[in-house]
């Protein structure tokens, strides 16, 4: 009973250790705060720091591909916050027509499958194309594309990618996005899967686990609930790297 009471009284996961620097680090908050404000919700009165751990982690991993060549992508844009984080981190690194591709149905989730449990219904998480467009307008290299994954990915099939963020919540679109982007990653490229560790997204986790089992792709599960897939680097894939 005491044990149960103790577990019930542990503060929520988003109460961060006040000793960590990043939580209140002005060096990154001042650069990203305006992009993160929509996390406060449409009325702006919610807590814009409510998923700051995932925003910070996404920024860190996007930074790892700063010196790689290739396109970047996000599957599941919603209001545009996570695409804005990626674009802000990498804003000076898009060259030779490289783009950030941001895909969303803007009609919410498709029909869940039996793998997805009962947390979601078709049409949940509907966002507005114009709202996302507005949040991403300062990034001229960002292509916001409305349509259903996987069909909408087709125009990108010839491009190499250095980074993809997959945040689709459900089994089928997550499986399609992984199958599309992982083989197109340059060496050193990274895929961040937002939903992997969440009890509400068992289908997304299953899709990642099946993909890893079939490909042996290196996977790291994070305490934030995210998971990261890597394509290991060689010197040739690093901009300005030494080619022995």
Ligand X SMILES: C[S@@+](CC[C@H](N)C(=O)[O-])C[C@H]1O[C@@H](n2cnc3c(N)ncnc32)[C@H](O)[C@@H]1O
Residues forming the site for ligand X (CB under 6 A): 76-79, 81-82, 103-105, 108-110, 125, 127, 148-149, 167-170, 173
Q: At closest approach, how far in Å is the CB of 37 from ligand X?
A: 12
* Strands of the sheet with 71-75, listed across from one edge: 142-146, 100-104, 71-75, 161-166, 185-193, 227-230, 219-221
Q: At closest approach, how far in Å is the CB of 105 from ligand X?
A: 4
Tell me whether residue 170 or residue 228 sits nearer to ligand X (CB atom). Answer: 170
Helix (H, G, I), strand (E, B) or coil at 174: helix
Strands 185-193, 227-230: pairing is antiparallel
CA separation for the pair 205, 51 (Å, rounded): 19
Tell me whether residue 16 or residue 129 sits nearer to ligand X (CB atom). Answer: 129
Burial class (CB in 10 A: 0-12, 13-18, 19+), 141: middle
Tell me whether residue 187 or residue 200 sits nearer to ligand X (CB atom). Answer: 200
Tell me whether residue 65 or residue 77 sits nearer to ligand X (CB atom). Answer: 77
Q: At closest approach, how far in Å is the CB of 221 from ligand X?
A: 18
Q: Which residue is nearest to ligand X (CB)?
A: 76
Per-residue DSSP letter, 117: T
Q: At closest approach, how far in Å is the CB of 140 from ligand X?
A: 21
């Amino acid at each position: 009973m005491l044990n149960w009471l103790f577990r019930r009284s542990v503060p929520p996961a988003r109460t961060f250790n006040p000793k960590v620097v990043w939580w209140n680090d002005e060096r990154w908050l001042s650069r990203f705060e305006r992009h993160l404000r929509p996390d406060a919700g449409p009325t702006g009165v919610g807590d814009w720091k409510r998923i700051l751990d995932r925003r910070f982690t996404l920024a860190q991993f996007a930074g790892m591909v700063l010196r790689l060549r290739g396109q970047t992508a996000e599957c599941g844009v919603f209001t545009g916050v996570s695409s804005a984080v990626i674009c802000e981190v990498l804003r000076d690194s898009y060259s030779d027509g490289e783009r950030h591709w941001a895909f969303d149905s803007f009609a919410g989730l498709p029909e869940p499958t039996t793998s997805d449990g009962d947390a979601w219904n078709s049409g949940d998480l509907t966002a507005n194309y114009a709202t996302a467009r507005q949040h991403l307008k300062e990034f001229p290299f960002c292509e916001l594309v409305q349509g259903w994954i996987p069909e909408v990915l087709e125009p990108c099939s010839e491009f190499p990618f250095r980074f993809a963020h997959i945040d689709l919540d459900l089994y089928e679109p997550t499986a399609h996005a992984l199958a599309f982007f992982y083989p197109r990653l340059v060496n050193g490229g990274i895929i961040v899967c937002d939903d992997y560790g969440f009890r509400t997204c068992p289908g997304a986790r299953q899709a990642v686990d099946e993909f890893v089992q079939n490909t042996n792709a290196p996977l790291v599960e994070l305490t934030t609930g995210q998971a990261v897939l890597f394509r290991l680097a060689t010197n040739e894939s690093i901009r300005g790297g030494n080619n022995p």
